[in-house]
Amino acid sequence: MDKLSKLKSHGAWVGRWTFILAATGSAVGLGNIWGFPYKAGTNGGGAFVLIYLLCILAIGIPIMISEIIIGRRSGNSPINAMRLVARDSNSSSGWQIVGWSGILAGILILSFYSVIAGICFNYIFIAASSTGSISSPDQFAEVISSPINLILWHTLFMILTALIVSAGVKNGIGRMVKILMPLLGFIMIFMVFYSVLNGDFNKAMKFLFEPDFSNVTSDTFLQAMGQAFFSLSLGMGSIMAYGAYMPKDQKVVNTSFTVASLDSLVAILAGLAIFPIIFAFNLEPNSGPGLVFVSMLSAFNQMEFGFVIGPLFFILLSIAALSSSISLLEPGVAFLAEEDILSRKRAAEILSFFIWILGLGSALSFNLWADFNLMPGRNFLDSMDFLANQILLPFGGMLIAIFVGWFMNKNLISDELGNANPLLIRIWRFFVKFIAPLSVALIFYNAIFG
């Protein structure tokens, strides 16, 4: 591809590690620490965890490699990246639909993500001031019962997200993740130790790793797959957009394995930090979105120096959320900037404002709109979550796999993969061509007709 097809430069990551850190920052977020444990909890534990890990391996990693290849090849935001790489592969410009569906998914996800992240902000202060008591589900209920409270924190989170994205790739994101992600890792490990020593570890291990397939339905598969896409930030162009800023000499395959392993590790650690406490206090593992808040606060309230470690944990969780939310906003903003429709700053502001409004619906779904169902059996937040995670992300990911597996010019692919291990490349090809798209299609088919 000639240089002319690159529309506008957004800058590039500085240094070898920055892509890994930024992509890991995007992947590791509320999905791992808030979403994974509670979804495992409501879906019966072990069987869900196993299906989830299989989805990461068979669908997630192959698609992550594909997204990075497309992104880096074109150096542009997902819509243009798909269009240009398709053109250079003599394929239809219609492939840009992947970019558009990704931007839509990013908007839907960020709208509720921001509300949950806002609750994390709120918990920084709650953890600092409450000691001595066991946190109860009632306390969580009280926190989310106030629309004003949720909306205020949601507003703060959206403003921060917009500010970082408008500052651009190099100065905003790259620097922040370098220090904070390792710190989050340390605190997670500390929490696991605490939880193992003070909670019901055996019961938690059984719950997380002993698969009971008796309650597995087609819906379990759909949810586990959606969670895998969500957690790895796949199917909507976040990783594709970040791939565009990746230096040419960095190895795509190794990098993808690193990012996916770190992401799964954090999810499992979160489960190991949360469930022993849940069982020790006889709380319900299937209590839903409040799980991490109730269980972690209970632990902090009882441990020495909990009033310090507690806020620290929620600060880091908020930061993990921020390093993900910026990647949700980036594809849309990069597109508007590269088409010269708006400046990067303006684009970040306007898009964020729109997302903020949509987020009000999710904030209200915890209280005033609790009984209002946007889709059958799903309130506003659940509907956004369902549409994005279980429909748009797998759909986008499937198209990406089909494009790279069947349509993308082979020379372009080998160019990007460089001298990766030939056997590994063969295996990867087989998975993008057949396994990944067929698995997604099968899971969709079963969820609809099963």
Residues that bind ligand PHE (CB under 6 A): 26-27, 29-32, 109, 230-231, 233, 236, 238, 324, 327-328
Ranges of H-type helices in 232-343:
238-243, 252-280, 291-302, 306-338
Other Cβ atoms less than 10 A from the Cβ of 423: the count is: 8
- Per-residue tokens: 198: 């003070």
- Enumerate the β-bridge partners of residue 375: 378
Q: What is the CB-side half-sphere exposure of residue 246 using CA atoms within 13 A?
A: 32
Supply the minimum distance, in Å, between the C-beta of residue 60 and ligand PHE: 11
Of the pair 124, 283, the CB lying nearest ligand PHE is at 124
- Per-residue tokens: 48: 């869900």
Of the pair 166, 327, the CB lying nearest ligand PHE is at 327
Of the pair 391, 413, the CB lying nearest ligand PHE is at 391
Task: Report the alpha-carbon distance of residue 311 to residue 302 in Å, rounded.
Answer: 14
Task: Report the alpha-carbon distance of residue 92 to residue 408 in Å, rounded.
Answer: 11
Coil, strand or helix at 226: helix
Supply the minimum distance, in Å, between the C-beta of residue 327 and ligand PHE: 5
| Residue of 249, 246, 350 whose CA lies nearest to 10 | 246
- Per-residue tokens: 283: 């709380």
Task: Report the alpha-carbon distance of residue 304 to residue 202 in Å, rounded.
Answer: 24
Amino acid at 209: F
Of the pair 381, 417, the CB lying nearest ligand PHE is at 381
Other Cβ atoms less than 10 A from the Cβ of 342: the count is: 16
If you count them, how many residues does the chain have? 450
Of the pair 122, 231, the CB lying nearest ligand PHE is at 231
Supply the minimum distance, in Å, between the C-beta of residue 188 and ligand PHE: 14
Of the pair 255, 298, the CB lying nearest ligand PHE is at 255
Cβ-closest position to ligand PHE? 31
Of the pair 204, 259, the CB lying nearest ligand PHE is at 259
Of the pair 29, 45, the CB lying nearest ligand PHE is at 29
Of the pair 256, 298, the CB lying nearest ligand PHE is at 256
DSSP designation for 31 = I
Task: Report the alpha-carbon distance of residue 359 to residue 158 in Å, rounded.
Answer: 10
Q: How far apart are the first and last CA of the chain?
A: 44
Task: Report the alpha-carbon distance of residue 399 to residue 313 in Å, rounded.
Answer: 38
Supply the minimum distance, in Å, between the C-beta of residue 67 and ligand PHE: 11
Residue that is written with structure tokens 């590791």 in the block: 28
Task: Report the alpha-carbon distance of residue 126 to residue 258 in Å, rounded.
Answer: 35
Of the pair 122, 389, the CB lying nearest ligand PHE is at 389
Task: Report the alpha-carbon distance of residue 328 to residue 311 in Å, rounded.
Answer: 25
| Residue of 96, 99, 108, 60 whose CA lies nearest to 389 | 108
- Per-residue tokens: 380: 């506003």
Amino acid at 225: M
